[in-house]
Amino acid sequence: MYSQTKNIQILFSIFYIIILPIFFISTNVIYITNSDWLYSYGWDRNQIEKSTGLNIDQLNSGANQIKSYFNNNDEYLDLIIEEGGIKYSLYNQKEILHMKDVKQLIKLTKSLIYYSAVIILIYFSLTIITIKSIKKSTNHIFRTSKISAYSTLVFLTVFACIASINFTWLFRQFHFISFSNDLWQLNPNTDYLIAMFPQRFFLETTIFIGILTILEFIIYLIIIKKI
């Protein structure tokens, strides 16, 4: 019986090492997707007003509609822009269909947060039950957390090296894996979606997510160490 419990604990330890960065990264993706500062930074950094012909109020209105779409039950996004008292739909059919796919990806990310949190809590509970000592349990959790942190740091370092060499390749591979169609292959000269969110926007968003993940691991380890 003890051996079986120990094997289960080892199994959950492996899951925990893998799941912990997934929890942090997924949480950061949702946080950043819903952050006003990211869009404001992106508009200014990439000179989106100049490239799209949209003013800052129109861009912010578009960002708010996108954030609302990711958090409501609407199947399709009809992004409305107002100019001179006239309202019109900004995105064409291809862009609207791609945003539907993006919304499904956002939903999957939210599910990852929930299920990874459940696995983490189960791991905590199982560790405390099997070790039967809060101090020893936290030491064990701290050690496995460090393994997860170091593994994540190695992954992020390799990812950063590849991104610095050829982010376009990574960007395309992500889309090939994440989507089953080519609706994401948009033209910045004719499609406002890619004009509003160019490749550099996603590069810098990825950097922000990586930095937040590293900071969260540091804080997380400090908290566990002090318990």
Report pLDDT digits (tens) over 192-221: 999 999 999 999 999 999 999 999 999 999
Greater confidence, 194 or 10? 194
Question: What region, left, alpha or beta, does residue 182 occupy, with left being phi > 0 and alpha being psi -120 to 50 degrees?
Answer: alpha
| pLDDT value, residue 192 | 97
Tokens of 162: 């590849």
| pLDDT value, residue 129 | 85
| pLDDT value, residue 4 | 64
Q: The dihedral of CA 144, 146, 149, 151: what is its sign?
A: negative
19-23, 131-135, 206-210: which has the minimum mean pLDDT?
131-135
Residue for token digits 């740091």? 153
Question: In the chain, which ranges are E strands?
Answer: 80-83, 86-89
Model confidence at 3, in pLDDT bands (50, 70, 90)?
low
Model confidence at 8, in pLDDT bands (50, 70, 90)?
confident
Kindly compute the dihedral angle of the four CA atoms of residues 22, 28, 33, 39, in this order, to the nearest 10 degrees: -140
Question: What CA–CA distance (Å, rounded) separates 167 from 205?
Answer: 12
Model confidence at 148, in pLDDT bands (50, 70, 90)?
very high
Report pLDDT digits (tens) over 104-123: 999 999 999 999 999 999 99
